[in-house]
Structure 1
Amino acid sequence: MKRRWSLLAWMLMFLALASTALAQPTITGTVAGVDKYGNVGLDLLTQALLDAGFEFGDLIQVDLPAESLEAPFVTAYSDVDVGSLLVRGPGGDGTKNVVLAINMGNFASFYGIQDGDVVALSLAEKGSYLGEWLIRQLQRTNERADYPSDEVFANFREVAVGGMGKGIYYRCSSPVNNELARAAYADALIKEAGIKTVINLADGPEELASYFKEPDFNSPYYQELYEQGQVIALNMGIDYRSEDFQAKLKAGLEFLLAQEGPYLIHCNEGKDRAGFVSALLEALLGASAQEIKEDYMLTYLNYYGVEKGSEQYEKIAESNILAALRDLAGLPKEASLEEADLVQAAEAYLEEIGLSPEQIDLLKAKLTGDAA
């Protein structure tokens, strides 16, 4: 009798799950826009998916005009590995439009998506990504009082790993775009550090001009550097394998070669684009994978209070910067980086983007010497 009831219970559970899947509707939307990173915005609000029974952590089938694929329903790009697909409900906010994206990639160009294309979303697997999504949930505030120092708040730091010189290379959140309420703090810190040359990965000249006119603009040192020709504004995407990214990075590094340090590289948060470029330069100067990982993850300690060495810490590192290092080194997923020649991998990438061996040697020389 007990066995019969157990079998009946399992059958009822199976039927309940099956009925949930069958009841899940297909939601159809239209591509409303593509941003400069290639992320595809739909004319669907996140709340429309939530109201239809979709939940964060579900695996969604995405039917594009020419093909079908599957991606988890998540809230942030960092909820998936570098190079992975996602259906994003930005920040879990129901009033925000649903976004189709590739973490650190260009969804629109890869799949040939244009404005007006019709996309259908349906349930592939209920909750199959939930555990992974939960461990990656990160929260931060934009209130200075919630952080122990200006440096932590602005994600500001000197990078001096491997053969890098002292006081020569820095990274931080944007000292000019005040969207995160950190610009004035970052500006004061780069002035104190004596920054002479800035590579802005995030903005173009038009964006900079608009920031200078904002009522809350308070970054006079950055504006002074820009007016003196010491800032290059690259307006880069995030796909480090794309031609656009590589052409602009080449221009930025050639600008660095023509200028004097100390140097600053930043994007908006100082996390993704600045994180990749910093890792590339650290590898070039002989830093170990562990040193690169620790510098990259310091951003997650600063912004989100992620505990060093925790499961969450290791998961974020594995799916982001370590995945990128393996890609640069031509290694398969989850391969050990202990024996990888990261200097050679960095040199190969820099040659791929168009720098000559002489320029690469000069770049090394620029970053190994201590600041005067």
Structure 2
Amino acid sequence: MSDASLGEELVRLASADNFRDLSGPDTAYVAADGRPLRRGVAYRSNELQLSHADVESLTRLGVGAIYDLRTDHEVEAHPDVEVPGAAWRHLEVKGIPMTAVSDLADRATAHEVMLRVYRGFVEIEGARAAFATLFAELTAAEGPVLFHCTAGKDRTGWAAALLLHLAGVDDATILEDYLLTNSFSSATREKYLGLVREHLGADKIDVYERVMVADADYLQAGYDAVSAAYGDRLGYLRDGLGLGPATLDRLRDRMLG
């Protein structure tokens, strides 16, 4: 089986349920100019607590670099399983309010914390630096890469949304792709909500569910922060992340067929 055909068939990993091809989970998304995105350029995922079989699958896909966007604490608590042939790089997205996320009083507070997370992707220098490095290295990569955070939802979802926008995918499709986490990771979410019930009580399930889902309001909060600071997403990529026109052109060309 070729890497390309494997990439088409490998929609899910049993031990990383939010793993998928950046270009789309099934068939490739199509840019505004009619060009399909290339398969197998980049993959997105939740944390890589991988089974042996799934390690072998990533190896067969030819993944040559893994970019971990999590905090130091998250990496120490759940280190990625090593994938042979793939260099591991830690690019911590700074500014995630972990204390606020872990101590939520009510649903409204949880929702506001998540809006704050996405605004931070734009407003916090240490977050912008991580995304800038990720995109620059994706531009220069010779083979497939994988980037991920813990749930593959927020930091990963923001990076994926920006890359799809740069490639010319329309906003409705980008939002649909972003929200796929809610179906792909439903079993994982229910598992963690079960732990919330056990340790914090049933009344906290509705509260913590807000930080475990992808929500259009969250993505929009990031977009709004971009508009306020940089005018549009291209301005954010150019001025906020410091990616020059040549780099952006190469990155766009790398993603398009």
**Residue 347 of structure 1 is aligned with which of 218, 231, 234?**
234
Q: Cα 1:284–1:329, aligned 2, differ >3 Å: closer, same or farther?
A: farther
Q: 1:108 maps to what in 2?
A: none
Q: 1:360 maps to what in 2?
A: 248
Structure 1 CA distance for aligned equivalents of residues 134 and 16 of structure 2: 26
* Matches for 1:177-188 after TM superposition, within 5 Å: 178=49, 182=50, 187-188=55-56
The answer to whether the 8 A contact 2:70-2:93 is kept is yes
Structure that is richer in strand per residue: 1
Q: 1:225 maps to what in 2?
A: 86
Q: Cα 1:186–1:236, aligned 2, differ >3 Å: closer, same or farther?
A: farther
> How many residues get paired?
187
Q: Cα 1:299–1:183, aligned 2, differ >3 Å: closer, same or farther?
A: farther
Q: 1:304 maps to what in 2?
A: 186
Q: Cα 1:203–1:368, aligned 2, differ >3 Å: closer, same or farther?
A: farther
Structure 1 CA distance for aligned equivalents of residues 22 and 253 of structure 2: 16
Q: Which amino acid aligns with 1:274?
A: T
Q: Cα 1:152–1:324, aligned 2, differ >3 Å: closer, same or farther?
A: farther
Q: Cα 1:320–1:209, aligned 2, differ >3 Å: closer, same or farther?
A: closer
User: 1:324 and 2:222 equivalent?
Assistant: yes
Structure 2 CA distance for aligned equivalents of residues 296 and 183 of structure 1: 25
The Cα shift of 1:186 comes to 5.3
The Cα shift of 1:264 comes to 1.3
Q: Cα 1:174–1:186, aligned 2, differ >3 Å: closer, same or farther?
A: farther
Structure 1 CA distance for aligned equivalents of residues 56 and 44 of structure 2: 14
The answer to whether the 8 A contact 2:15-2:51 is kept is no
User: 1:150 and 2:13 equivalent?
Assistant: yes
1:221 match: secondary structure = coil
Q: 2:92 maps to what in 1?
A: 235
The Cα shift of 1:198 comes to 2.2
Structure 2 CA distance for aligned equivalents of residues 166 and 202 of structure 1: 25
TM-score, reference length from structure 1: 0.44
Structure 1 CA distance for aligned equivalents of residues 13 and 142 of structure 2: 26
The Cα shift of 1:184 comes to 5.4
The Cα shift of 1:154 comes to 2.3
Q: CA RMSD in A?
A: 3.5
If asked which structure has higher relative contact order (CA below 8 Å, sep 6+), I would say: 2
Q: Cα 1:257–1:294, aligned 2, differ >3 Å: closer, same or farther?
A: same
In the alignment, structure 1 segments of 5+ residues that lack a partner are: 1-148, 213-218, 307-311, 332-343
2:142 match: secondary structure = coil
The answer to whether the 8 A contact 2:15-2:54 is kept is no
> Taking every aligned residue pair, what percent have the same amino acid on both sides?
25
Q: 1:251 maps to what in 2?
A: 133
Post-superposition Cα deviations, 1:156-205, rounded to whole Å, max 9, x if no partner, equal 11122344212222111122xx4xxx56565344224222222221156x
**Residue 166 of structure 1 is aligned with which of 15, 39, 61?**
39
